[in-house]
Structure formats: structure tokens, C-alpha cells
Amino acid sequence: MSDLESRIAAWLAGRQQEMLDELEAMVNTDGGSYDKAGVDAVGERVKAFCGRHAIPVEVIPGRDYGDCLRATVAGEATGAGGAGNARRNIVLMGHRDTVFPKGEPARRPFRVEGGIATGPGVCDMKAGLVQNMFVLAAFQACGGAPGPLVGLFTGDEEIGSPEGRPVIEAEARQARVVFNSEPGRPSGGVVTGRKGGVFMVMDIAGKAAHSGGNFEAGISAIEELACKVRAIHALTDLARGITLNVGLVSGGQSVNTVAPWAQGQIDLRYVEPADRDMVMGRIHEIVERSFVPGTSARLSIKGEFLPLARNAGTEAVFELYRAAAADSGFETAGEFTGGCADSGFTAAQGAPTLCAVGPVGGKAHSPEEYLEVASMVPRAQALARAILRLEAANL
């Protein structure tokens, strides 16, 4: 272990309470994806922290959703290794938005009891944001990163990154490696593979009529929706990792009216990129077909994630991180998950990407969401060690 690595690890070792203080402030700030002011208020915490540590921050404004923040720490190239990558960016990524409605932090604020922290977004992924902030600050204080460090803090991941995606992809095209600090798995593992996902809305039009006095003149959009839901769900192929779920439905005018409209919201998950186009083609066929004569329908894509595919780059970063984790006092393994994340966008641009390197937690998106406080410092140290060892791993 180098002297620099020891100094950075020691700098982080004494910061757990500071990390918790930052985390408490973030968790207690509203930040649902559609609450731009709240997400940007969390961003003000990031900017204030970076300002105290002399880390410059660029703001990339979002029109409808939270701004993207780009914090940078200059690198100190340590040699000609890394396949000529010494001047390429090392990206630490995370999102500030949560899935919770406005007022949720007031209803159940940040709390620590028995080494477990709770509160909306505590692990997904405000703890990961705090980790990235402190790793940036550690390198700013101690120096020695084998290339420029970029902390990318986005604002709309939970809804598919409609504004953040182009910023993420542009960053990935300049990246040497990407660490996405989504929560570490409850097992302590990191994520080396994720499914892709497409989130769609299907709108169906029928014809209203009185359900008692003029039933035969009506055309039920709800009946058509029911037929389409069955057909769409039948596309699920668990053996191939393909799942379809119509998770939200609505429609109708009144109980005594033949329904003139209906809507279904569809979630598609897949593993292989080729399966995405195949299944989407089948969905379009179902949407265009009228099971109930006289109905019509249209399909809109509201959000999409790309899969994080395991490849040589992913494996190299994982092996590097696994060794860094062992020297930070914990064992880790690579896991596959059906959940989606921004890491799929960076991997698709060719950037070696490792996901879920944040502090350990679980039960995200629920009132039982939790974070293991004792994991905060070791996970930050492991990330810093992995960054310092990029040269030796030829990354």
C-alpha cells in the first residue's frame, strides 16, 4: 500500500460523523423526481460542500427536472500506464432525486438507531452522493488521483433520466472508468450486470354510451385494455429474463357509462439488447390490433434504460474494486439485478462501468428503506483505493 493510499484512507476514516451530518440534511430535503426545486435544493448541499473544499462545480441546467452538477478535481498523472488514459476522466456518478412524494421527509425524517439509518432516499441514493462528495474531497486534500476526477450529480434517474441521459452519455464518451454509487447490495456486493427497461403508456379510445339505456351503441375501451393487458403479459419469458408488467391502469367515465377511454402503463425489462427490439415490435402489434372492434390505441415511450452488460471492461473494474474492498476490510462479489440505473448508459458508450459501489442498504423505494452506517467509511475507502490503482490494472 502506498503512502498516498494510506493518507487518503486515513483522511476518510475520521469522517463518519461528517458524512452522517451531510446525509441527514439531504434526506430531510424533499427531492422527488418531479420536484425540481427540491432536487435542486439537494444540489445546493452538494455545491456548498464542494465550495468548502475548493472543488469547482459546473451547473448544467435542467428545464423540467433537477440540474446536473459536474464537480471536478484535477488529476496528477502518475506515469505512462493505463493504456494512455492518464488524461481521461474518472467519473463518480449519482442521482439526487427520489421516488417519494413531497412532504415525505417531514413525515419520517432521517433517523439513526442501532447502526441503521432510515429516511426517504437514505440509501437510494443520497448515501452514495455523500460518499462521492467525500472521495472527491479526500483527493482534493491529499492529491494523487491518476487522472481528472469528475463527480456527476444528476437529477432525474428515477424516471429514466429524460434530461440527464445526454449529459451522462457525453461524460461517458470522455471517461476512463465510471463508478456509479448506487447502494451496495444487502449482501455487500456490487452490481456488474443490470437489465434494460422501457416504460410506456398505452392510451385507448372507445365510445361512450349509457350502459343501461343504450348499451349497444358503446365501445368499451376498458374491455379493449383488458384484452391488451393479457396479450402483453403473455410476452413474458422468464428463461430469457424478459418481463412485462402493466402496473397502472385507469379509465372510464362512470359506472353506468360504457368506457370511452382507458390507459395502461407498461414496464418492460430485458437482458439482451436484441430482445428489446423484438419485444417492442410485438407490443406495437398488440397496440395496433383492435380486439374490440371500433377501438383505437396509441403507445408512448416515457422513459428508457439500457442494460449494463458484463464485458471485459466491467470484469477488470470489478476485480480491481474487489481487491480494494478487501484492503478496506470487507469482502464483495459481483451481482446481477433486474433493476435499472444510469450505469447502463455509460456502459453503452464503451466506458468500463461498475455499479452499486455506494454504502450498503436495502428496501429502496419503501418506508423500510435503510442504510448500514458502518459501511459508509469502508466503501468510500474502497472507492478511493480503486481509483488509485487504475494504472496497475491497465485501466
pLDDT in tens, 274-292: 999 999 999 999 999 999 9
Beta strands 243-251 and 149-154 are unpaired
177 and 227 part of one domain: no
The answer to whether residues 121 and 218 belong to one domain is: no
Q: How would residue 95 be classed by pLDDT, with cut points 50, 70 and 90?
A: very high
Reported as a pLDDT band with limits 50, 70 and 90, residue 83 is: very low
pLDDT value at position 310? 85
If one compares 186 and 77, the residue with the highest pLDDT of the two is 186
Residues 158 and 217 in one domain: no
Q: C-alpha grid cell for residue 242?
A: 424478459
Domains identified in the chain, total number: 2
- Which pLDDT band, with edges at 50, 70 and 90, does 86 fall under? low
Burial 322-331 (b: 16+ CB within 10 A, else e): bbbbebbebe
Domain check: are 213 and 295 in the same one? Answer: yes
Lowest mean pLDDT among 144-148, 205-209, 286-290: 144-148
Query: How far is residue 259's CA from residue 297's CA, in Å, rounded to a whole number?
Result: 14
Q: Which of 305, 320, 347 is the last residue of a domain?
A: 305
Q: Are residues 83 and 64 in the same domain?
A: yes
Give the model's pLDDT for residue 223. Answer: 98
Average per-residue pLDDT for the chain = 95
In a domain, 298, yes or no: yes
Pairwise CA distance, residues 337 & 271, whole Å:
10
* 12 plus 124 within the same structural domain: yes
Residue with cell 442498504: 361
68, 21: one domain: yes
Do the domain assignments include residue 394?
A: no
Same domain? 294 vs 311: no
Whether 326 and 237 map to the same domain: the answer is no
Q: What is the pLDDT of residue 85?
A: 56
Mean pLDDT of 133-140: 98
| One domain for residues 218 and 287 | yes
Whether 80 shows a pLDDT value over 60: the answer reads no
Residue 294 has pLDDT above 70, yes or no: yes
Secondary structure letter of residue 84 according to DSSP? G
Q: Name the domain boundary from 280, 305, 330.
A: 305
Alpha helices of the chain — where are they, by DSSP H?
3-13, 16-27, 36-52, 104-107, 127-142, 164-173, 221-233, 273-288, 312-326, 343-348, 376-388
Domain contains 277: yes
* pLDDT tens by residue, 23-35: 999 999 999 999 9
Please check the confidence at residue 394 and state whether its pLDDT lies above 90.
no
**Domain span at residue 40?**
3-194+307-388
| Shared-domain flag, residues 296 and 314 | no
Whether 187 shows a pLDDT value over 80: the answer reads: yes
Domain check: are 120 and 170 in the same one?
yes
Q: Is the pLDDT of residue 315 over 80?
A: yes
Q: Which of 305, 336, 370 is the last residue of a domain?
A: 305
The closest of 21, 20, 40 to 30, measured between CA atoms, is 40
